[in-house]
Every structure is written in structure tokens, then in C-alpha cells.
Amino acid sequence: MINRIASPRLSGRVLTVAATAAVLLAAALVAMSPALAQNNKPAAKPAQKQAPAAQPAAPAQPAAPAPQQQAQTPPQLMYSPWIKLCNKGADTNNKEVCVLHKDGRLENGRPVVVAELIEPEGVPQKLLRVTVPLGVQLQRGTRVIIDQETPMTAQYSMCIPLGCFSDYQATDEIVTKLKKGKTLTVQAINFNNTAISLQLPLTDFAKAYNGPPTDPKAFEAQQRKLQSELQKKAEEARKKLEAQQSPATAPPDQKKK
């Protein structure tokens, strides 16, 4: 049940927010593992008393974040649009793989939440992958909610420098709910035992899903534009903070000797 950390060989091929289409798709087939059979479970019942050895005094905890727990205030995020990237080549065993990708980032450009729908050719089961920041309780897993639908839970599959991700079976029913939905909520528990609840808008999901793939060059240009906007906002925030601190931090007059 312990989640493994990506090896140097694999981590060079896993998803990153600014990845090109080839890298995104190369990681897709790696995700299709037997562990998916344990995912897509309703988050209805708390786990039995199986506290980790490192927490002998801890009471029984649910397998996924509970809404009544102390919640962390969601950060203000900038969202990329849903984009559809498809590729076929050696990295995908010569089978076409399409990935619908959306992420939310802080103004400094750091990704906070990522969601991807992965559709490999010839594999009937699609995959919904969600990624949250490092520093989460691995044994607790993640929970995803589409609008007000029944929550689903999954254990973490792997942790990489970008964060820790969980994989969910994406049935046709789930894909339909994503198309019609307004918000995808991703939840986790951090090391402070605080619930993290992050939301990704679904308003443009159906259009991206039903539309043609995004041109890789257009995707790269979009990423550069988003990064430029993030840098601009970060610079504006820095200047604003300096302006607010300027009167209070002005050096005092030299003491008279």
C-alpha cells in the first residue's frame, strides 16, 4: 500500500504542466496498470482501524478526505483551458493516445492541481488522473467529485516532482458527467491533517472532448503565453507588496552620535 516514488528513468517521461504533447502521451500507457481495479470506489464508509505504524495513537481515519474536516482555504488559481492532445508513435506502442488536460496554478506558475482524461487506442477503459501537490498523507488517497455527484476515492499511484497522482477508471457514465458538469473537485489530506479541496472548471470540457486535437505547436505557444501572464502577475504582486511595505520598512534616520 506504500506509494512508490518515480525513478529517474520514469520521471523524465511523466507528466509536467509545461510538457509537450509527446511527453504527455508517453506517460499515458504507463498509467494503465492493474491497480485501476481498486479505484472508482464510493467514499461512503470510513476505513477500519488500520492506523499506520508511524501513527500508533491515531484513531481510525477515512480512506479519503471527509468534508467535515478542517478545510484549508482554496488558493486563488489561474486555469489553463481543457486541451486535447493526441499522438501515435514509438512511445505509445504505435497506438494513438489522446489526453485531455487542464491545470490550476498559482501566480508564481507553480502547479497546484492537474486533471487529465487519458484515452489509449484499443483500451476500452479510459483513465482519469488527478495530481495534487507533494506533502499529502499517502495512506489517505484522493477523492474526486463531479458537481454534487457521489464522491469517488482512489489510492495514490505514484509521486513525482510535480506532485502525487491518483488514477480513476473513467467509464462512459463518468465521461458523460464530465461533459455535462460544471466543476471537478479534487480533495486530499496534507501532513497537517487538513483537507485540501481544489476545483477545476468543466465548462469547456465537452468542447475539447468532442473537438479536434490541439496542434502541439499551438499547445506550446499557449503554454508560453500562460507562463508570460503568470510572470506578469507575479511581478505586479511583487511591486504591490513592495509598495505596501515601503513606508514601514524605510530605514530609520541615523542615530546621532
Q: How much is the pLDDT for 13?
A: 33
Contact criterion met (CB below 8 Å) for 32 and 123: yes
Instruction: Name the least confident of 35-49, 90-104, 129-143, 181-195.
Output: 35-49
Calculate mean pLDDT across residues 190-201: 93
Domain 10-41+62-234 has CATH 2.60.40.1880: yes
Calculate mean pLDDT across residues 121-144: 92
pLDDT over threshold 60, residue 92: yes
Q: How far apart are CA 199 and CA 251, in angstroms?
A: 43
> Could you tell me the pTM of the whole model?
0.66
Strand order in the sheet with 142-146: 41-42, 152-154, 142-146, 183-189, 195-201
Whose grid coordinates read 495530481? Answer: 131
pLDDT over threshold 90, residue 100: yes
Q: How much is the pLDDT for 232?
A: 78
Q: How much is the pLDDT for 248?
A: 55
Q: How much is the pLDDT for 89?
A: 77
Domain-by-domain residue ranges, the chain?
Answer: 10-41+62-234
Dump pLDDT digits (tens) for 21-63: 333 433 433 433 344 444 455 554 444 444 444 333 333 344 4
Q: How much is the pLDDT for 52?
A: 43
What confidence category does residue 253 fall into, taking pLDDT thresholds of 50, 70 and 90? low
Whose grid coordinates read 479534487? Answer: 186
Contact criterion met (CB below 8 Å) for 219 and 22: no
Left (φ > 0), alpha (ψ -120 to 50) or beta: where does 87 sit? beta
What confidence category does residue 14 fall into, taking pLDDT thresholds of 50, 70 and 90? very low
Q: How much is the pLDDT for 6?
A: 34
